[in-house]
């Protein structure tokens, strides 16, 4: 039996989801980059 290629409908449904996840991943990466050494964390580190 030949493997059945995914239906175009399935591709159409998953493409926007993949794009959506990709956008969220970059948002999360940006937030992590912004949060790297905040004044709060530096202050907390000084207390420990």
* 19 or 10, greater pLDDT: 19
Rounded Cα gap, residues 30 and 13, in angstroms: 27
CA atoms within 13 A on the CB side of 5: 3
pLDDT at position 34, please? 76
pTM equals 0.38
**What's the whole-number average pLDDT of the chain?**
75
Range list of H helices, the chain? 8-35, 39-47
Whether residue 48 has pLDDT greater than 60: no
Whether residue 21 has pLDDT greater than 80: yes
Give the contacts of 41 (CB within 8 A, at least 6 positions apart).
35
* 15 or 47, greater pLDDT: 15
Q: 14 exposed, middle or buried (CB, 10 Å; 0-12, 13-18, 19+)? A: exposed
């Amino acid at each position: 039996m030949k493997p059945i290629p995914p239906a175009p409908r399935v591709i159409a449904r998953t493409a926007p989801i993949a794009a959506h996840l990709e956008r969220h991943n970059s948002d999360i990466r940006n937030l992590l980059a912004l949060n790297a050494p905040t004044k709060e964390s530096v202050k907390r580190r000084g207390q420990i």
